[in-house]
Chains A and B, each alone.
Chain A
């Protein structure tokens, strides 16, 4: 079935280093969403990408959607301790009512101060 894969599963960086997580779908996606979950918290929506090749920025976070709409990435420049958490990508199932989000396993980011 349709799958969304994320790498790496874990990333440990020094504060100030950059961080990137990659998301790959087995099928073309109509859109992709990114969520952040702090330890012990709930997923919080970060962004949705819809267009092929789209790039969006939120301060130090840069999100990209691939030309084929099958992959995406999240890049954080100069990480801070507040960036700690698990970053999930999710895309809608390409069937049915299109209301089911398929989630990646997430990338857990740890930042050493």
Chain B
């Protein structure tokens, strides 16, 4: 069964450093998402991406964040200058639905630890 993959599984970085989290969505999916989940808390929407541009973004997704689909398979989330409060699990998801939001398939996540 096709699945969303994410690398790395765990990233440790120092405050102020840039990080890039990578995702490979399911190949025939058209919509891509990034979420974050602080330990034990709810899943928070960051951004959705369609047709090579951001479709929606949350108030969390400020100028420090950017997303890119550099080729036909990867979907990346960049945090330019990490803060302690960016420590969380980051999930990538994809869906194929054209109308509205359909089933979203989540990757296993990248645990980001900012020290």
A interface residues (Cβ-Cβ under 8 A, vs B): 30-31, 33, 35, 37, 41-45, 48, 88, 90, 92-93, 96-106
Check A92–B45 contact: CB distance below 8 A. Answer: no
Of B11-19, B73-81, B102-110, which binds chain A? B102-110
Check B44–A33 contact: CB distance below 8 A. Answer: no
Check A99–B106 contact: CB distance below 8 A. Answer: no
Give chain B residues whose Cβ lies under 8 Å from the Cβ of A35: 43
Give the docked Cα–Cα distance between A49 and B67 (Å).
30
Report how many A-B pairs have Cβ atoms within 8 Å.
Answer: 60
Interface size on B, residues (CB 8 A): 23
Does B56 touch A at the CB level, under 8 Å?
yes
The one of B56, B58, B106 that contacts A43, using a Cβ cutoff of 8 Å: B106
Check A101–B104 contact: CB distance below 8 A. Answer: yes
Check A96–B56 contact: CB distance below 8 A. Answer: yes
Question: Which B residue's beta carbon lies closest to that of A105?
Answer: B42
- 8 Å CB interface, B79-115 against A: 91, 93, 100-109
Give chain A residues whose Cβ lies under 8 Å from the Cβ of B108: 41-42
Check A88–B100 contact: CB distance below 8 A. Answer: no
Please judge, given known A-B contacts A42-B108, A42-B109, A100-B56, whether A92 and B101 are in contact too, CB under 8 Å. yes
Give the docked Cα–Cα distance between A6 and B112 (Å).
27
Closest CB-CB distance, B17 to chain A, in whole Å?
25
Give chain A residues whose Cβ lies under 8 Å from the Cβ of B107: 42
Closest CB-CB distance, B61 to chain A, in whole Å?
11
Check A103–B101 contact: CB distance below 8 A. Answer: no
Check A42–B55 contact: CB distance below 8 A. Answer: no
Give the docked Cα–Cα distance between A103 and B104 (Å).
13
Q: CB-CB contacts of B34-67 with A at 8 A, as 1s and 0s?
A: 0000000111110010100001101000000000
Give chain B residues whose Cβ lies under 8 Å from the Cβ of A31: 100-101
Check A99–B109 contact: CB distance below 8 A. Answer: no
Please judge, given known A-B contacts A99-B31, A100-B48, whether A42 and B106 are in contact too, CB under 8 Å. yes
